[in-house]
């Protein structure tokens, strides 16, 4: 122990032998003589003075340490700041920084969310703010979202004007989801005023805004490449003048509760479209066939059919309508649709078809026809097949034999594999590249046959691709398959049983 002698504290008047005696008594249990009691009291007072002095010194040193720590923090900050002046990232050109900004921000909301990019980027430093403001594309992918409780677009219109200014020199992508609004006229006026600036417009709106936009004068939106209109209310749209003069339009989506006016369909530039989605109740299948006949560049197509009518089979030739570039086709057949034999699927020639979806749930008369199969198998390129209707076992086997490159298969509405098909799938003779399967399971025995097929494809000697994603609908089998069995299968094979496991 180090004892500090404090100047001004004279302790020499206590005899050395008395100190030794008191210290000795403090270390054992001997009785202190009465004559030393006064000495002990003086030594107590002396030690208390030392404690007080050290308390003062500790307080002084703590203040000094705090001051030193603050000074150290200042110098650490300076070191970091000085290092940043020679850091390699300082050499990154503004053009590359702008490119990084573009990849960090997918889109922005008209009413800013200040904790999201690109708004956060301009608050980092003056250089980043200057780069952000000098990058028009950063502000050109815009979303407008408005709830039912907010029935005004005033703030959105003001903010949209500012973003239109920030994105000067580049084309704008606009995505609008507006439940209802009073400011339809000024909003559409703003769109028309900046018409040449838009290459993508998506509107999920009520009929008032949709009708006014679609009735815009021809040739305004001549840079528009993608247009999507999804109307939420039951009101027929009769004017499509906005499409006239839209020579760059390549993708068109119309989702309306009521049918489009047939005469107005002639204003749609089908011949230049690569993507087409028409979901409108009441459009006759013959009209849609004529539309397809004009779509020689079509790559992706989705159509809703609710009225099947005979069509002119001489369009464009007496035998078959060829869509040379079509790769993805989806057909939705409305509930209760009749006259399935007049549907024109068999009259299509799709040499590049890779993805086919057929939705006819609730339309019992629309069982898949054998005559339709060549349309989806002729290309020998089919990779994804989704059938939401009944298909007989023999027709299904014909389809699967003719689609050796199939990767994804979904079958619902009771369509199922026969035992022979499952055996051929197990060996890899059938569907050797299949990796995703969704279908209906009706009994525990049916489930076990599928599991045997999975095990067969997992053998090292089997060259077939392992099916890694499995989605089984067991609603029809509930009660016959114990829940414990479903849990065991789900864990072992990674099978999804929606609603149960």
Nearest to 138 by CA among 115, 169, 107, 94: 107
- Pair 68, 98 in one domain: no
Last residue of a domain, one of 85, 119, 136: 85
Q: Is the pLDDT of residue 364 over 60?
A: no
**What mean pLDDT, rounded, does the chain reach?**
84
Q: Residue 172 pLDDT > 60, yes or no?
A: yes
Residues 20 and 121 grouped into a single domain: no
Average the pLDDT over each of 149-153, 453-457, 493-497 and give the range with the smallest value: 149-153
pLDDT at 457 over 60: yes
In a domain, 62, yes or no: yes
Q: Are 423 and 450 in contact (CB under 8 A)?
A: no
Same domain, yes or no, for 70 and 103? no
pLDDT band at 181 (very low <50, low <70, confident <90, very high): low
Answer whether 177's CB lies under 8 Å from 144's CB. yes
Residues 490 and 501: their CA atoms lie apart, in Å, by 7
In a domain, 455, yes or no: yes
pLDDT in tens, 92-145: 899 998 888 888 877 666 665 667 788 888 888 888 889 988 888 888 888 887
pLDDT at 1 over 50: no
Report the pLDDT value the prediction gives residue 342, as an integer from 0 to 100. 76
Is there a single domain that holds both residue 112 and residue 75?
Answer: no
- The least confident of 5-14, 131-140, 234-243, 386-395 is 5-14
Alpha helices in 90-153 (DSSP H): 94-104, 126-133
* 45 shares a domain with 131: no
Residues 455 and 479 in one domain: yes
pLDDT at 153 over 90: no
| Contacts for 203-206: CB closer than 8 Å, 24+ residues apart | 203/176, 203/178, 203/228, 203/229, 203/230, 204/176, 204/177, 204/178, 204/230, 204/232, 205/176, 205/177, 205/178, 205/229, 205/230, 205/231, 205/232, 206/178, 206/179, 206/180, 206/181, 206/231, 206/232, 206/233
Q: Is residue 29 part of a domain?
A: yes
Side-chain-side CA neighbours of residue 350 (13 Å): 29
Mark which of 50, 85, 120 sits at the end of a domain. 85
* Structural domain for 317, as ranges: 94-381
Residues 61 and 153 in one domain: no
Is there a single domain that holds both residue 361 and residue 440? no
pLDDT for the residue numbered 107: 67
pLDDT at 273: 96
Residue 205 has a pLDDT of 84
The CA distance from 500 to 139, in Å, is: 45
Domain count, the chain: 3
pLDDT digits (tens, 9 = 90+) for 194-250: 999 999 999 988 888 888 898 999 999 999 999 999 876 656 666 788 998 899 999
pLDDT score recorded for residue 311: 57
Q: CATH number for the domain including 305?
A: 3.80.10
Of 92-96, 383-387, 396-400, 444-448, the range with the lowest mean pLDDT is: 444-448
| pTM metric for this prediction | 0.77
- 6: which 2 tokens? 């404090």
Taking residues 11-33, report their average pLDDT: 81
Do 178 and 320 lie in a common domain?
yes
The answer to whether residues 198 and 140 belong to one domain is: yes
On whether both 470 and 451 belong to a single domain, the answer is yes
Q: What is the pLDDT of residue 163?
A: 82
| CA–CA dist 426, 434 (Å, integer) | 11
Residues 197 and 51 in one domain: no
Q: State which of 33-37, 156-160, 176-180, 232-236 shows the largest mean pLDDT.
A: 33-37
**pLDDT at 409 > cutoff 90:** yes
Q: 23 pLDDT exceeds 50?
A: yes
Distance CA 251, CA 270 (A): 10
* Per-residue pLDDT at 137: 86
Segment among 20-29, 100-109, 314-323, 453-462 with least mean pLDDT: 314-323
Structural element, H or E, at residue 219:
none
- The predicted model gives 454-461 an average pLDDT of 90
Lowest-confidence segment of 107-111, 243-247, 380-384, 486-490 by average pLDDT: 107-111
Is 7 part of a structural domain of the chain? no
Domain membership flag for residue 473? yes
Q: Is 191 inside a domain boundary?
A: yes
Q: Which of 5 and 260 is assigned the larger pLDDT?
A: 260
pLDDT in tens, 296-306: 999 999 998 87
Cβ within 8 Å of residue 434, ≥6 positions away = 406, 407, 408, 409, 425, 464, 465, 467
In a domain? residue 10: no
Q: What is the mean pLDDT of residues 363-382?
A: 86
What is residue 318's predicted lDDT score, i.e. its pLDDT? Answer: 42
Task: Tell me what the mean pLDDT of segment 26-55 comes to.
Answer: 88
Does residue 395 form part of some domain?
no
Provide the percentage of residues in the chain whose pLDDT is more than 70.
Answer: 85
pLDDT tens for 128-142 read: 889 988 888 888 888
Q: What is the largest CA-CA distance in the chain?
A: 135
Final residue of a structural domain among 85, 115, 131:
85
Task: Report d(CA 79, CA 445) in Å as an integer.
Answer: 73
Looking at the DSSP bridge assignments, the partners of residue 328 are 300, 355
């Amino acid at each position: 122990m180090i004892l500090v002698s404090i100047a001004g504290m004279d302790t020499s008047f206590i005899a050395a032998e008395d100190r030794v005696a008191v210290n000795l008594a403090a270390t054992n249990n001997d009785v202190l003589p009465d004559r030393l009691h006064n000495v002990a009291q003086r030594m107590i007072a002396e030690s208390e003075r030392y404690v007080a002095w050290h308390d003062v010194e500790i307080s002084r040193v703590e203040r000094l340490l705090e001051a030193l720590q603050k000074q150290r923090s200042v110098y650490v900050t300076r070191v970091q700041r000085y290092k940043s002046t020679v850091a390699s990232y300082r050499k990154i050109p503004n053009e590359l920084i702008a490119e990084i900004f573009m990849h960090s921000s997918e889109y922005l909301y008209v009413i800013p969310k200040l904790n999201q990019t690109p708004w956060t980027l301009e608050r980092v430093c003056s250089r980043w703010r200057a780069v952000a403001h000098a990058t028009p594309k950063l502000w050109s992918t815009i979303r407008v979202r408005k709830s039912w409780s907010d029935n005004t677009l005033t703030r959105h219109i003001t903010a949209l004007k500012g973003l239109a200014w920030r994105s000067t020199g580049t084309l704008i992508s606009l995505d609008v989801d507006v439940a209802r609004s009073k400011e339809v006229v000024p909003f559409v006026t703003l769109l028309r005023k900046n018409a040449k600036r838009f290459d993508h417009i998506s509107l999920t709106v009520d009929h008032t805004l949709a009708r006014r936009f679609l009735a815009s004068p021809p040739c305004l939106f001549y840079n528009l490449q993608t247009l999507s209109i999804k109307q939420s209310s039951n009101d027929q749209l009769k004017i499509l003048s906005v499409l006239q003069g839209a020579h760059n339009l390549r993708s068109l989506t119309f989702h309306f509760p009521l049918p489009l006016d047939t005469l107005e369909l002639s204003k749609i530039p089908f011949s230049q479209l690569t993507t087409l989605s028409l979901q409108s109740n009441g459009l006759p299948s013959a009209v849609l066939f004529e539309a397809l006949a004009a779509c020689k560049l079509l790559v992706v197509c989705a159509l809703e059919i609710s009225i099947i009518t005979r069509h002119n089979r001489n369009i464009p030739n007496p035998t078959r309508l060829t869509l040379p570039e079509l790769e993805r086709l989806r057909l939705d057949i409305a509930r209760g649709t009749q006259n399935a034999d007049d549907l024109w699927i068999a009259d299509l020639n799709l040499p590049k078809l890779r993805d086919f979806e057929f939705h006819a749930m609730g339309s019992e008369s629309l069982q898949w026809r054998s005559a339709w199969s060549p349309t989806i198998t002729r290309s020998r390129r089919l990779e994804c097949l989704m059938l939401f209707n009944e298909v007989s076992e023999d027709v299904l086997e014909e389809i699967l034999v003719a689609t050796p490159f199939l990767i994804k298969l979904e079958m619902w509405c009771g369509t199922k594999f026969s035992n022979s098909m499952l055996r051929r799938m197990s060996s890899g003779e059938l569907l050797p590249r299949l990796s995703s399967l969704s279908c209906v399971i009706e009994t525990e025995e049916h489930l076990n046959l599928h599991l045997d097929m999975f095990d067969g494809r997992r053998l090292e000697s089997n060259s077939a691709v392992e099916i890694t994603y499995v989605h089984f609908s067991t609603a029809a089998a509930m009660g016959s398959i114990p829940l414990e069995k479903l849990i065991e299968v789900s864990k072992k094979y990674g099978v999804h049983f929606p609603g149960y496991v």
